[in-house]
Amino acid sequence: MKKLIFLLSALLISLAALPQGIEFHKESYAEVLKMAKKQKKLVFIDIYTSWCGPCKHMSKNIFPQAKAGEFYNSHFLNLKLDAEKSEDGKMVAKMFEVSAYPTFLFIDGNGELVYRFLGGRDVNMFVQEGKKALEAYAAYPELKKCERKYEKGVRDKKFLDQYIVLKDKSGLDFSDLLLDYYKFVDDSELLDSVNIARIAKMTLFDSKLANRYVDAACKEAANPTKSKKATKEINKAICSFLSACLKTTAMADQEKSFDEVLVLKDRLFVAIKAKDSATSASMGGGTIYLPSNLSRLDYYASTKKVDKFNQTLVDYLVELEKKYEATYQDKIEMRKAMDEQLKAAKEKGDQKEYESVKQMRAMMFAFSGIDDYYTSTSMVENVEKYEEFYTGEKNDAYKDKVANWYVFLHKLSPSVKTAVIVADHLIGLDRKDLAVEVLTYALEEGKEGVGVEDADIKNCQLKLDELKK
């Protein structure tokens, strides 16, 4: 018996000694705050949603790791809050203006935000963010002093610089400070490393400041002595700023300012020889890289400006059709050339060359197809919105018009991944014959599209077989 008890005790001790991940409290937000105040600790809060992929990754792969648990359990009180299903989660997300997930907050016992960061991390980076939170906590009294000075009207450059540094270290937005700070910055200083780093984090639109930066960037683009690397960093920062401006002006329904941002974008892009590119946008460049008409459609749809939405939709479809006709033959010729290279390598029996050409062909079509794929899928969604907004008679003329839009947009990027969606829309418009054409064309031309998987090909074939019965 004693031996059994000893073994059980040893087992319990060994289990307790096993590496553990982050321990999340089950108490309410208010209760954990009280505990944090008493223990003089920060509360680490994971604000997540049930549908968020990076949120699931963090919960499954990062939080359970011993390294994460060791650091976060010893330094913080940890709490998980669902931003959509938990009352505490809804409240905290609203209180701290959380709009993307996962967002990680570090709150003191008084409910004050000390540090925040956004997005998934590997375990080492995640622990590093926790260390930054502790540094911000140590500097928090100084931050509060600056806050009180600012509220009293202190606005000199040295003070603003200090306050910005402290807010930046805490992961807090300092756009309001920048509006004051840049009043003290000469045009000759706008593009130095400090100010470029700051404008990249600006989230508010100010016409005068935006024009100053675009003017400076256009001038810099014409400077033959400037290094390409430095120029690239400058343009990237200003594009980040303009992307944020598009978002904030759209959310505030400031159409005049929204249009001004797009005009500034066009002027900048001409100077730096940049192009509208969904590829650039998807790689972190920002929404400013998307075609302006797509941005306008999103804005008009969200604000229910139906007449402007409809006109922009029609005009952009005409533009896309002209572009498609102008580039279609070039794409065919490019594909033929690559296929000939593959054939020649295969006939020579040169497996190394064959694989190299095959890889090059796949990469070429992947990158060249991203813009078309993004435009195609985005415009299909916009045609769906057109149908939603439409209040007139849905007669044959209406059905033919909308059906032809869907067919063309799928032809723009004939992927099996989207063929079934388009086919369903066509069936809803009583255009079964066109649905069959789309599915057939997708199986002939769209098996190598962006993100295509075997399941997409199978679903496309099943849908086609179903319609042919």
Domain count along the chain:
3
Are both 338 and 416 inside the same structural domain?
yes
Are both 356 and 458 inside the same structural domain?
yes
Cα 277 from Cα 163, distance rounded (Å): 37
Looking at residue 13, what is its pLDDT? 47
Structural domain boundaries, residue 189: 173-290
Are both 329 and 207 inside the same structural domain?
no
Q: Which two tokens stand for residue 308?
A: 């402007």
Are both 372 and 334 inside the same structural domain?
yes
Are both 118 and 198 inside the same structural domain?
no
Looking at residue 125, what is its pLDDT? 95
Are both 313 and 283 inside the same structural domain?
no
Q: Establish how many alpha carbons lie within 13 A of residue 24's alpha carbon, considering only the half-sphere containing its beta carbon.
A: 13
Position 35 in a domain: yes
Are both 61 and 137 inside the same structural domain?
yes
Position 442 in a domain: yes
Are both 90 and 215 inside the same structural domain?
no
Write out pLDDT tens, residues 359-368: 766 656 555 5
Are both 186 and 252 inside the same structural domain?
yes
Name beta bridge partners: 117.
104
Write out pLDDT tens, residues 380-418: 999 999 999 999 999 999 999 999 999 999 998 888 889
- Where does the pLDDT of residue 15 fall: very low under 50, low under 70, confident under 90, or very high at 90 and above? very low
Which of 243, 263, 290 corresponds to the end of one domain? 290
Position 156 in a domain: no
**Closest among 449, 381, 429, 432 to 409, alpha carbons compared:** 381
Position 21 in a domain: yes
**Segment (H or E) for 114:** strand 113-118
Looking at residue 335, what is its pLDDT? 67
Looking at residue 14, what is its pLDDT? 46
Write out pLDDT tens, residues 318-355: 999 998 887 666 666 666 777 787 788 878 887 887 77
Query: Is the predicted pLDDT of residue 49 greater than 90, yes or no?
Result: yes
Are both 54 and 136 inside the same structural domain?
yes
**Amino acid identity at 288:** I
Looking at residue 345, what is its pLDDT? 80
Q: Give phi and psi for 114, each to the nearest 5.
A: -105, -35
Write out pLDDT tens, residues 289-318: 999 999 999 999 999 999 999 999 999 999
Assign residue 104 the CATH number of its domain.
Answer: 3.40.30.10
Contact 78, 25 (CB under 8 A): yes
With vertex at residue 117, the alpha carbon angle to CA 115 and CA 120, rounded to the nearest 5 degrees, is 150
Contact 169, 135 (CB under 8 A): yes
| Alpha helices in 98-151, H assignment, sequence order | 123-151
Query: Is the predicted pLDDT of residue 445 greater than 90, yes or no?
Result: no
Are both 336 and 453 inside the same structural domain?
yes
Are both 237 and 280 inside the same structural domain?
yes
Q: In what order do the strands lie in the sheet with 76-82?
A: 76-82, 42-48, 103-107, 113-118
